[in-house]
Structure 1
């Protein structure tokens, strides 16, 4: 494994952050013709097939007994709850706001690690980063409460709770036997369980499913399952195998930046000064928290 990032790794991380930021836009565009939870379920189903194909090509054995079934099922249920909340939340708020709230997840992880992962103590920089991000969230959420756009705060809150479930999934992986298995198997637990749970939840909620298919709707869905769940996930696995994850994680602050810009560019969302202020605080918080100790 290389100890530093070369130009190719840096270029790939910037590309993946762009993809992960734009996916919020793709979700909103696809939601004009596909119900949100049903959309999330379809994505998990196709992504499961893609990752299984990757494990076959790489000869990664994901079916051996290793005592990870129960924590794997828990991680899958948390993952399903996360995406149900995100996809529903984006029906009530903008993609640019949603991506900022979503990327508070690393700070929920850091906070939970204080109790669940005592072997990973919080550094002062991490506390400072968390304070910056929390300030950004308070400012943005406060704007949603007083905004004339009715119900925007509901979407903000749902996505913020979804970020909490994302953090809970990460902590489950770190604090259980899942930490000892391959990243591919861990991801398959999450995708496989959500591929079963989300379509069932969609039926319970009475969603119409695919109700207004159009070329734009299907293109947005194709982007999610092929580019996001296929290209970016497989590319991430490759990067983690060849470069230090701590170095790669420093790029995470770029994703909300890309998401905010994509919302304004592709959806014409109004980017207020408050949005940019919150983005700056959350992005700075992520960067400060991920600086090498």
Structure 2
């Protein structure tokens, strides 16, 4: 049973997850320089799924997932198939750091979904303030100094795609909680990854793309190995170490990691709009998700995979 204090191993796992699910936006940006979005999805999911397959078999996690395969496939479509290709297409236009921050709006959409499902606590003053602050932060990022997407239809489309990703990521945990509650997460993820990879493989093979560079190829491999397979194994270890309530707290650090990596490694501009919007989005998401409490309500077991 996880204790009330975080062990050294727990802090290491927190740091690993902040990096492993903060760096994908950089790697996606590099991958789509030569690979099509469909090829990035196929390569990443097949590689990640094949690495997780023997672990899932060893833990006997596949059979429960296969019994409920329609819901597992629905989860895979909403958590992986749609978001991964939308992110790949969006990052052909948007900076990786901006993409990472826009995806961080997941708790805002989750609070709205909870309200629509009858959770009246979403109307508490602090959570309502969080929703307003978070979406105000998005407006600042999109229309504020530096990004100026207002006159660029491609950039507006990309922003819409990323916000749709955030909405899909907010919906997926409800499938886990209501339809796959008794299924080991490792089984659901492994089956979903392999199904998505197989579905996208023909599209990837038929999609025109440039000859891959060493940089884009290594980025795609890193997406599959580190940001998918290793990240999920590390996340399961983090749940075991600190419990499911505190495990997803690293997600508040992910957008900061994405922005820093984009600035340092890709030379992306740290715009005024980004600087102003970042604290609004992070604070708004925290208030919307927790209501301002230091000990948040029990969140879904799986944060968004990127």
TM more than 0.5: yes
Deviation track 1:11-38 (CA, whole Å, cap 9, x = no partner) reads 3212211221111111111112211221
User: Could you tell me which residue of structure 2 aligns to residue 230 of structure 1?
Assistant: 229
Aligned 8 A contact 2:134 2:281 in 1 = yes
What does 1:165-176 correspond to in 2, within 5 Å? 165-176=168-179
What RMSD in Å do the two structures reach over aligned CA positions? 2.3
Say if 2:49 is the partner of 1:61: no
Deviations 1:223-248 (A, max 9, x none): 11111112221010111123222212
The answer to whether residue 189 in structure 2 is matched with residue 187 in structure 1 is yes
| Counterpart in the other structure of 1:253 | 252
Q: Deviation digits for residues 22-68 of structure 1, max 9, x if unmatched? A: 111111111122112211111001111111122234x2331147752
Cα 1:146/1:232, change in 2 over 3 Å: closer
Residues in 2 aligned to 1:231 and 1:117: alpha-carbon distance in whole angstroms = 36
* Residue range with higher mean Cα deviation, 152-161 or 62-71: 62-71
The residue number in structure 2 matching 1:96 is: 97
Deviations 1:184-219 (Å, cap 9, x if unpaired)? 12212431231123234446xx5224x222221222
For residues 235-263 of structure 1, the C-alpha deviation after alignment (integer angstroms, 9 at most, x for no partner) is 10111123222212222110001101111
C-alpha distance in structure 1 between counterparts of 2:264 and 2:256, whole Å? 12
TM superposition shift of 1:147 = 5.8
Distance 2:265 2:150 in 1: 22
Question: What residue ranges of structure 2 are gaps of 5+ in the alignment?
Answer: 297-306
1:44-98 Cα shifts (integer Å, max 9, x gaps): 01111111122234x2331147752221121122230111111111111110111
Give the Cα separation in 1 of the matches to 2:213 and 2:21: 23
Is 1:196 the equivalent of 2:198? yes
The alpha-carbon distance between structure 1 residues 146 and 182, as it changes in their structure 2 partners (threshold 3 A), is: closer
The aligned length equals 287
Which range moves more in the overlay, 141-150 or 185-194? Answer: 141-150
Rounded Cα–Cα distance in structure 1 between residues aligned with 2:227 and 2:245: 22
Cα 1:136/1:200, change in 2 over 3 Å? farther
Give yes or no for contact 2:64–2:184 (8 Å, CA) kept in 1: no
Question: CA 1:242 to 1:8, structure 2 compared with 1: closer, same or farther past 3 Å?
Answer: closer
Quote the residue 1:264 is aligned against.
263
- In the TM superposition, residue 117 of structure 1 has moved relative to its aligned partner by 6.7
2:261, 2:8 → 1: CA distance?
Answer: 24
TM-score normalized with structure 1 length:
0.89
In structure 2, the residue matched to 1:74 is 74
The 1-side partners of 2:244 and 2:105 are apart by 19
Separation of aligned partners in 1, 2:188 and 2:131:
27
Runs of 5+ consecutive residues of structure 1 not aligned to the other structure: none
Change (3 A) 1:213 1:116: same
